[in-house]
Amino acid sequence: MKRPLRALAAAGLLAAGSLVAVALGGSASADTQICEQYGSTVVGGKYVVQNNRWGTSAQQCINATGSGFGITSQQGSAPTNGAPVSYPSIFVGCHYTNCSPGTNLPVQVSQISSAPSSISYNYVSGATYNASYDIWLDPSPKRDGVNQMEIMIWLNRQGSIQPIGSPVGSATVAGRTWEVWRGNNGGNNVISYLAPSAIPSMNFDVLDFINDTRNRGAITSSWYLTSIQAGFEPWQGGAGLAVNSFSQSVNTGGTPPTTPPPTTPPAGGGCAVKYTPNSWNNGFTADVQITNTGSSTVNGWTLAYSLPTGQQITGSWNATVTQSGSAVTARNIGHNGTLTPGGTASFGYQGTLNGTYSSPTSFTLNGQTCTRR
**Which residues contact residue 13 at a Cβ distance below 8 angstroms, ignoring those fewer than 6 apart?**
none
Residue 299: strand, helix, or coil? strand
Q: Is 150 a catalytic residue?
A: yes
Q: CA 131 from chain center: how many Å?
A: 15
Environment class of residue 43 by beta-carbon count within 10 Å: exposed (0-12), middle (13-18) or buried (19+)?
Answer: buried
Q: What is the DSSP string of 66-124?
A: SS-EEEEEE--B--TTS--SB--EEEEEEETTEE-TT---SEEGGGEEE-EEEEEEE--
Rounded Cα gap, residues 136 and 146, in angstroms:
9
Alpha-carbon distances, residue 226 vs 53, 135, 286 (angstroms): 21, 8, 29
Rounded Cα gap, residues 290 and 239, in angstroms:
50
Rounded Cα gap, residues 298 and 320, in angstroms:
17
Which residue among 36, 134, 150, 212 is the active-site one?
Answer: 150
Q: Is 179 a catalytic residue?
A: no
Which residue among 28, 191, 233, 319 is the active-site one?
Answer: 233
Residues 283 and 351 sit within 8 Å (Cβ to Cβ): yes
Rounded Cα gap, residues 146 and 150, in angstroms:
10
Known catalytic residues? 150, 233
